[in-house]
């Protein structure tokens, strides 16, 4: 009886074990674990790895494993209820029936890799077996040549992109915010660094010009895992050198002997501003000049002048004067030359003397005319006042009663009108008085047959002859 009961108990336990095994196998055959194939996350952000079971209530824990970098078979324990981590946590802490997703905080580039979500004592027959986590740094760097490039030469820019997964990244070049056509770009070059970090390099070349002093170039990338496009900007003026124009004014200097002439060296349109010097040479001998302040032009270039005063002597006739401009991080010298001509005839001085003498003579003539006009006016006013006073003193009975003029025939010519009163001067008045006295004497002169005074007529005095005055001998 005892043995029977023993075997009976053994059979019950064995049957229970077999039933449990079959139940587990039957449930395990229906279990599906689902993971996302790829997860992209920027470095120093949070990454979420999803793991969901088709149904719950099964015996056994769920663990996360990480595949080794250089082995697809070897797995390392990453996270579970028994393996904790400071920066890894379950998304659902309590009541995790089917959701065993985790969150990795502050991910690093070294966290990139393949992660497997696995339930112990079971083997899923369907679903995604692992999740690939891609952590990218998002580094973008735009570089240019270390040395400046002269205008007219090609300048090359490199845009380096690292830490982006997948590596298929769209690179766009812009100049002054205008997109450069794809035909002018160079294809991307891809390399893989030691830490399996893909690095892309996009290269573009442009011809440097003076207009690029204030221009900028931009490298912009688009990535499916970026919310906004990343870009890097570079000022082209930092990598170019513009040569100026140098000239001397006047270009053909001529000077009069023993005078001073000024020569001006004009330097226009150089870039950059730093490291500039102007030197003067007289027949290849260094001499001192004066420099003016540097001016910035509207296009971003710079200009400056230097002056040299030369005292013209006979020895300096046909002397050569040279202006040298030294500038730029890449030392460059640009010069200009002129030849001085010294003239001994001094034609300019003579012309100046003639002009000055003519001006003085003109001033003298004007002064003389003004004085004469003032004197004549004063004389005329005095004559008028004098004539008026004299006319007032003559009594009316002494005024000559002139006979009435004979009637004028139509054929007779009119006598000339008397001069206007304002035109009479003292000279005219004296001549008039002289004529009047002569007329009075004529009226009192003896008749044609009268003997001269002091002589007697042979036949007696003629009628109307004035009486004879006695002659007194002295």
Write the CATH number for 114: 2.60.40.10
> Would you say residue 1 has pLDDT above 60?
no
Q: How high is the pLDDT of residue 19?
A: 36
Q: How high is the pLDDT of residue 318?
A: 93
Contacts of 195 (CB under 8 A, 6+ apart): 109, 110
Helix axes 347-393, 426-444, angle to 10 degrees: 40
The average pLDDT across 195-219 equals 86
Same domain, yes or no, for 147 and 233?
Answer: yes
Same domain, yes or no, for 256 and 274?
Answer: yes
Domain-located, residue 261: yes
The average pLDDT across 445-472 equals 55
The average pLDDT across 172-196 equals 76
Residues 311/299, Cβ–Cβ less than 8 Å = no
Q: How high is the pLDDT of residue 130?
A: 85
Domain-located, residue 126: yes
Same domain, yes or no, for 283 and 235?
Answer: no
Same domain, yes or no, for 129 and 148?
Answer: no
Percent with pLDDT over 70 in the chain: 63
| End-to-end CA gap in the chain | 229
What average pLDDT is seen over the chain? 76
Boundary-marking domain end, from 280, 309, 343:
343
Give the pLDDT band (50/70/90) at residue 301.
very high
> Would you say residue 128 has pLDDT above 80?
no
Q: How high is the pLDDT of residue 136?
A: 72
The average pLDDT across 30-44 equals 83
DSSP H or E stretch at residue 391: helix 347-393
Same domain, yes or no, for 202 and 257?
Answer: no
Domain-located, residue 401: no
Domain-located, residue 449: no
> Would you say residue 20 has pLDDT above 70?
no
Domain-located, residue 234: yes
User: Which of 95, 102, 24, 27 shows the shortest CA–CA distance to 63?
Assistant: 102
Name which residue leads in pLDDT, 186 or 172.
172
> Would you say residue 12 has pLDDT above 60?
no
Burial class (CB in 10 A: 0-12, 13-18, 19+), 153: exposed
Same domain, yes or no, for 132 and 143?
Answer: no
The average pLDDT across 468-473 equals 52
For residue 363, give both structure tokens: 């001033």
Domain-located, residue 378: no
Same domain, yes or no, for 233 and 294?
Answer: no
For residue 360, give both structure tokens: 């003085």
Q: How high is the pLDDT of residue 4?
A: 40
Same domain, yes or no, for 233 and 171?
Answer: yes
**Domains held by the chain: number:** 3
Percent with pLDDT over 90 in the chain: 29
* Listed range (13-27, 208-222, 223-237) with the worst mean pLDDT: 13-27
Domain-located, residue 293: yes
Same domain, yes or no, for 230 and 286?
Answer: no
For 361-417, what is each residue's pLDDT tens digit?
Answer: 889 999 889 888 877 777 766 666 666 665 555 555 554 555 555 555 555 555 556
- How big is the chain by its Cα radius of gyration, in Å? 63
d(CA 64, CA 35): 11
> Would you say residue 215 has pLDDT above 60?
yes
Highest mean pLDDT among 178-182, 283-287, 375-379: 283-287
Q: How high is the pLDDT of residue 379?
A: 73
Same domain, yes or no, for 261 and 327?
Answer: yes
The DSSP-derived string for 61-81 is -EEEEEE-TT-SS-EEEEE-S
Range of the domain at 40: 29-136
Boundary-marking domain end, from 312, 343, 374:
343
3 state SS of 133: strand
Same domain, yes or no, for 33 and 130?
Answer: yes
Same domain, yes or no, for 236 and 250?
Answer: no
The average pLDDT across 341-352 equals 66
Domain-located, residue 388: no
Boundary-marking domain end, from 83, 116, 136:
136
User: Which of 286, 287, 304, 305 shows the shortest CA–CA distance to 295?
Assistant: 304
């Amino acid at each position: 009886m005892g043995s029977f009961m023993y075997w009976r108990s053994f059979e019950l336990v064995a049957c229970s074990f077999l039933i449990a095994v079959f139940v587990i196998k039957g449930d395990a055959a229906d279990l599906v674990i689902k993971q996302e194939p790829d997860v992209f996350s920027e470095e120093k952000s949070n990454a979420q790895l999803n793991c969901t079971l088709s149904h719950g209530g099964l015996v056994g824990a769920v663990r996360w494993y990480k595949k080794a970098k250089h082995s697809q078979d070897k797995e390392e324990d990453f996270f579970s209820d028994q393996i904790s981590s400071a920066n890894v946590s379950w998304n659902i802490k309590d009541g995790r029936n089917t959701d065993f997703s985790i969150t990795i905080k502050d991910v690093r580039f070294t966290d990139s890799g393949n992660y497997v979500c696995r339930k112990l004592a079971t083997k899923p027959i369907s679903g995604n077996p692992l999740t690939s986590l891609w952590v990218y740094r998002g580094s973008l760097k735009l570089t240019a040549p270390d040395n400046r490039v002269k205008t007219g030469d090609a300048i090359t820019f490199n845009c380096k992109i690292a830490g982006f997964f997948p590596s298929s990244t769209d690179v766009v070049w812009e100049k002054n915010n205008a997109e450069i056509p794809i035909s002018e770009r160079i294809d991307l070059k891809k390399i893989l660094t030691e830490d399996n970090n893909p690095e892309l390099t996009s290269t573009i070349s442009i011809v440097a010009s003076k207009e690029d002093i204030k221009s900028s170039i931009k490298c912009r990338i688009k990535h499916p895992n970026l919310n906004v496009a990343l870009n890097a900007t570079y000022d082209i003026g930092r990598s170019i050198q513009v040569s100026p124009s140098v000239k001397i004014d006047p270009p053909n200097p001529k000077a009069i002997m023993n005078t001073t002439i000024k020569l001006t060296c004009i330097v226009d349109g150089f870039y950059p501003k730093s490291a500039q010097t102007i030197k003067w040479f007289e027949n290849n001998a260094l001499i001192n000049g004066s420099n003016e302040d540097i001016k910035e032009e509207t296009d971003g270039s710079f200009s400056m002048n230097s002056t040299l005063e030369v005292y013209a002597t006979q020895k300096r006739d046909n002397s050569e004067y040279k202006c040298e401009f030294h500038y730029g991080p890449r030392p460059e010298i640009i010069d200009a030359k002129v030849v001085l001509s010294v003239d001994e005839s001094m034609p300019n001085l003579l012309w100046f003397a003639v002009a000055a003498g003519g001006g003085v003579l003109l001033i003298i003539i004007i002064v003389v005319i003004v004085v004469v006009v003032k004197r004549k006016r004063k004389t005329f006013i005095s004559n008028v006042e004098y004539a008026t006073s004299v006319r007032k003193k003559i009594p009316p009975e002494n005024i000559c009663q002139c006979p009435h003029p004979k009637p004028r025939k139509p054929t007779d010519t009119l006598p000339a009108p008397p001069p206007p009163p304002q035109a009479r001067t003292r000279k005219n008045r004296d001549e008039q008085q002289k004529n009047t006295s002569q007329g009075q004497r004529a009226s009192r002169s003896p008749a044609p047959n009268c003997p001269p005074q002091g002589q007697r007529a042979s036949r007696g005095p003629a009628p109307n002859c004035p009486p004879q005055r006695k002659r007194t001998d002295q």
